[in-house]
Structure 1
Amino acid sequence: MALARISLEPPPHIDPTKATLAYGRLAIKRLNRELHDAVLLTRQRAVKALCDYLHDHEHIAEAINEDVVTSLNVLLKDSDVPCRAYATECFVVLCQHELGRVAFLDHNILQSFLNLIKLSEVDIVRLNAQKAIEVLTTSPAGALAVVENGYIPLLINCARDEVDEIKIVVLDTLNHCLSFDTGKGLESGGMPLFTQLLSHESPEVRARAAQNILRLSVNPTGKQGALENETIPALVELLKDNSETVRASAAGALAFICTTNHGRYTTLNAGAIPHLLHLVDDENSRVRVNALKVITCLSETPEGRRILLDHLNTITSHDKDVNAAVAKHAKIAASVITWKP
């Protein structure tokens, strides 16, 4: 299903004219000065021109050296929507570079972003702010900073309340952050929310919800939370999803939950084995690997082993799969299924 795109329709006098760029190394200096101008039109033109200028990666270091980050931080509090929108877009571009991420953290921009992700802010500003945070969290230092600044509970709320386009970005950010701190995600109600999102109409949301359940299930408390919130039947249902990304993420989450006996038997009782055997022949190698991991876990139960012995050929046929990871996990699954005391 296609999502409606959030975009900014700037006032007609901003984009066509923009700010006149000075030559060479003076360009950033002039734009930086105009970002502080008392005239709104000058600020609008300057931040729009700067946004375009930063898309050339050669200008990133120069902009940081001229302390443009401080000027943009001031613009984040501007009363004008286009100024805030283009300022946040500048941070999206800056955070795509290591120098920009370091400057973002050094200037504590995360504190300024706290007000920009609230639902009282306009859509385009929230979207750009969430995109900047998501790009920031692709680096370990950035993800850790987001966790330490108390963003996980806020992001969980955003994942529940936001429009779909922003929800997808937020779920990506959480996926990065929960690898550092699953506890905060569980305390903030992450497991019931992600379980609810497994039935969302968008496959992109469903896949990301399953991936975040996987993150939370690394924690033993998360595995228990999956059992308490009826997460396993919802994941088993997604093994039949039309999207291969959703199928792969659902199987991956089950593989983590099934490391406990309670998780294995709940998955067995949910009727997962027929779907998993079908996924062993899936065209997507990630789906095949994750399905084999779950099958291996289920075959550690007497009931699961008894069922899977009748389908051993389906698994051993992948011993020489073109994908090395699939071949490896097929051999492991076969050895566990055929194990005798």
Structure 2
Amino acid sequence: MFCAEKNSYLQLVCAMEPRVINKAVDRAMGKKVLDLPCAKFHPLGLTSARPSIYAPHIDITRSRLGFGRVGLRLLNRDLHSPDYLIQLQAIHTMLDQVQISENAMFLINLNVVHRLTELLDSRDPVIREKVCIILTHLAGYYQGRQRISACPNLYFRLMWLCIRDKKEIRFAAAYTFRTLCRDRCACEAICKVDDLIENMLKIVQNEFTGIVLIHLKSMKNLFEYDPIVPLKANAFQVMFGLFKNSDPRIVSEAMECMSQLCKHDVGKILADKYDLTFFLRPYMKCDNYDVVMSAVGLLCYTTLTKRSKWRAKEVTRELTVTLMHLCHAPSMPLLQLRSIQALINLCDCPDIRKHVRQLWKRKVQLIMIRTHEEWDGTMETTSMGLETGHNYRTMCIELTETIKNDYGDNAEVVNVHSYLRRLQEKKNQLLKIIDSTPYS
């Protein structure tokens, strides 16, 4: 029978009429007996008890799926049922079951990814959208990403959905890519797909804002893994064009992608050619915090070449005043770290180093760094940060966690003590560079 609270078909085998059981339970609980299944979705019911997406064509007399291991096996089999109604019911029920980690792992072991990959070519847009959402949930598990990486055709079909399908399905497929790109093994498989990076660069130029934002987050991880392929596809010019976008979120993510490209020697040459050190000056004074953070992070890579240092000497006072102001932000340690690193790069130029030593040495010594008791590892106080408390070393909260290790097996794990120690070391390094003198 159909359970309105779970939006799933619970009963596997029942010797009694399911409607009789429902009526008996309702009478024992003192509820009014209603014959229509849709009456369960009464507007006065609890919002949390009503599913957000209702299963279509509810027919309690045809319900055969259950929650147990046997029911999940039947659910996996019914994904390719010749009966369209049974197939649609199986998709909706599986979307509910993958929310439970035990059932999701069992379905992954049943090779459900291979069956879902074939359903991406379905003619029904409802099935295509729900399959993308299910794959997103399965990609949250390491085993799920491994099974998805074993299906090279899946990436090609997802990219086809991102290019040609409806807006809702494009959004769901983009979010599936975003979840997969968090894993380096998946990034390796995605980068091997022909013309995938080129297609993503075309999409971000003519797509809706929300979808572009998700694709930029995916490309940031892809560019970090292999910047050579995007550089050959003119990704630098595309990201540079997004700097003029009206949405600050897109500008911030484009700068983060550009930072990954500037790690490569070709990216540094292009940064000098486009004069990014001069171009980033107004963005460092922007009202949006994310844009300032990304601009200073990009400046850390654009000021590594000799040409950029001598170019920055023309606006020494403006750059040093802005960076020194950003260094005195103890509530934002990541911004402090990036600003100090940019000053260290600029102080390689003797004229800039002399200017900083004469005017700003005392100000550098007064830079305040928070202690680990004063900082919970997040850039802002949120309800999510308050709930996690001191578990921030093992928990990962997207868009809230701000620090990660540069190397090691646990690169994504937050370590506040080592991060603050690194920030103190950078401050001491800046003071040491300011006091140094060139060889005679």
Fold shared per TM-score above 0.5: yes
Counterpart-to-counterpart distance in 2, 1:253 and 1:74: 41
**What are the equivalent positions in structure 2 for 1:149-168 lying under 5 Å apart?**
149-150=193-194, 151-168=196-213
Deviation of 1:20 after TM superposition, in Å, equals 5.4
**Greater relative contact order (CA < 8 Å, ≥ 6 in sequence):** 1
Within 1, Cα distance between the matches of 2:119 and 2:68? 24
SS of 2:246's partner is: coil
Identify the match of residue 272 of structure 1 among 311, 316, 319. 319
- Give, in angstroms, the shift of residue 52 of structure 1: 1.2
Which segment is superposed worse, 67-76 or 264-273?
264-273
Aligned partner of 2:202: which letter? N
Q: 1:113 aligns with which of 158, 181, 189?
A: 158
Deviates more, 1:223-232 or 1:77-86: 223-232
Deviation digits for residues 169-198 of structure 1, max 9, x if unmatched?
111111111122111111212112212222
Unaligned runs of 5+ in 1: 1-8
Distance across 2 between alignment mates of 1:329 and 1:317: 14
Query: CA 1:19–1:175 in structure 2 vs 1: closer, same or farther (change >3 Å)?
Result: farther
Please state how far the C-alpha of 1:157 moved relative to its aligned partner. 1.8
Q: Distance in 1 between matches of 2:326 and 2:80?
A: 58
- In 2, Cα distance between equivalents of 1:261 and 1:14: 68
1:5 paired residue number = none
SS of equivalent residue, structure 2 residue 225: coil
Amino acid at match of 2:308: G
Residue 201 (structure 1) aligns with: 246
The 3-state SS of whatever aligns with 2:165 is: coil
1:293 aligns with 2:390: no
1:253 to 275, 291, 298: 298
Q: Which residue among 362, 367, 372 is the counterpart of 1:313? A: 362
Deviations 1:48-107 (CA, angstroms, capped at 9, x unpaired): 111111011111221123232122111100011010000011110010001100110112
- TM-score computed with the length of structure 1 as normaliser: 0.90
* TM-score using structure 2 length: 0.70
Structure 1 position 16, deviation (Å): 10
Query: 1:291 corresponds to which letter in structure 2?
Result: S
In structure 1, C-alpha distance between the alignment counterparts of 2:258 and 2:67, rounded to whole Å:
52
Say which one has the larger Rg: 2
* Cα distance change, pair 233–159 in 1 and its aligned pair in 2 (3 A): farther
Alignment deviations for residues 291-339 of structure 1 (CA, whole Å, 9 cap, x no partner):
1111111111122113212111121112765433332212111211221
Confirm or deny that 1:71 pairs with 2:118: no
Q: Does the alignment pair 1:334 with 2:334?
A: no
% identity of equivalent residues: 17
Instruction: Name the structure 1 match of 2:180.
Output: 136
Unaligned runs of 5+ residues in structure 2 are 1-51, 372-419
Which letter does structure 2 place at the counterpart of 1:211?
Answer: E
What root-mean-square deviation, in Å, do the aligned CA atoms of Structure 1 and Structure 2 show? 2.3
| C-alpha distance in structure 2 between counterparts of 1:122 and 1:58, whole Å | 32
Going from structure 1 to structure 2, the CA distance change for 1:102 and 1:314 (only over 3 Å counts) comes to same
Structure-2 separation of matches of 1:159 and 1:72? 27
Letter in 2 for 1:328: E
Looking at structure 2, the residues matched to 81 and 11 of structure 1 have their Cα atoms a distance apart, in angstroms, of 15
- Checking the alignment, whether the CA contact within 8 Å between 2:236 and 2:258 is kept in structure 1 is yes
What letter is aligned with 1:102? Q
Task: Answer whether contact 1:14 1:44 (CA < 8 A) is retained.
Answer: no
Alpha-carbon distance change, 15 to 93 in structure 1, aligned in 2, over 3 angstroms? farther
Please show how residues 234-249 of structure 1 align to structure 2 within 5 Å.
234-249=279-294
Describe the shift of the 1:16–1:238 C-alpha distance in structure 2 as closer, same or farther (beyond 3 A): farther
Find the counterpart in structure 2 of residue 171 from structure 1.
216
- Asked if the contact 2:328/2:368 (under 8 Å) is kept, the reply is no
Cα pair distance change 1:14/1:101, threshold 3 Å: farther
